[in-house]
Structure 1
């Protein structure tokens, strides 16, 4: 691992946030699970800590309020529902932070999951976060990894993490963190506006999962011999 980060997971008590926090800590990063109250975050942090017991090199996991989690971190992961997203992000002091959004604005009806249309097709959750926190650097990543697999027993997920953003250095942080999940650096997939594609793509995976009773992911071919 090239760098060790102190990561605040906002939405750390939910399945995706808890699972990613576990994976990051499993590979030596320090993780603070954030919630609206420390009292809600602390027992989840204890659950993750117990899961890591006896694992050599694991990082510390604690729970805190969202504000305290952000203050103690250099990287902030947003793993919160789209409903209420803007109101929550607006309350966070994200200036100077690298912010990774894995928020998927989805909706469900009788035909299944589908992506919500954000800003008439010209926006995404990640772009909203960037507009709400202009002094932060926002990238999109980890949208399409299964929470079930993140909390599973296997060492790594056999898939790729696609990373989008407008600042190369910030994308490299997310690419580094992907190693903790897949054993491979994340894939630089382009500019932040492409979060408009990655976020609703999760609805496709949900449809596949429902059809075949699996927890599917994304793996790109043709990258085996290139440096990421």
Structure 2
């Protein structure tokens, strides 16, 4: 999402800020009102979503999704280039099997991305289906957050990311207006509960894997992560 491939796509499309991300990631929803997009991405302020989505109206949603899929595929070909072909093919197959097993309820972006035509080469398929499963967890995490009585902003403030380790920093990055309330112990507990509930909601998608397949899946993911990120 912040790769050189993503940057090149935004520049080629003439889109800036959150617009290439919103149009690309959420283009699988079709030409919908921005509120539909906001309901799916969840953790962004609705005003930011609307401004970003409508600013990219010159790029049709279907085309934006297709280009964004190309970004994902090209990223995989570059970052997983050191992964042996047999490992890439097996990992792609396991990722795809989990995606096929999962229910779409509560995860509209997962449903949209799973329906996109997949690439043929293994390295791109690893990246694509990792993205598809990320959308599964992302959708179900939003369900879990709301179920545990958190607002999207409270969830952002009690979380962190690889790039931005502070909740305030993430909220600012996403575009939530300041000032931010300091999360209390109850809010942090609700966030921990939401993480646990997310795992519970996602788990059935992996139910079709045998114990041996699951162990191999974990090992291959670790190998792929090491190849991609050192």
Given the two structures, how large is their TM-score scaled by the length of structure 1? 0.30
| Structure in which a larger fraction of residues adopt helix | 2
Greater Cα radius of gyration, structure 1 or 2: 2
Structure with higher RCO (Cα < 8 A, 6+ apart) = 2
| Structure in which a larger fraction of residues adopt strand | 1
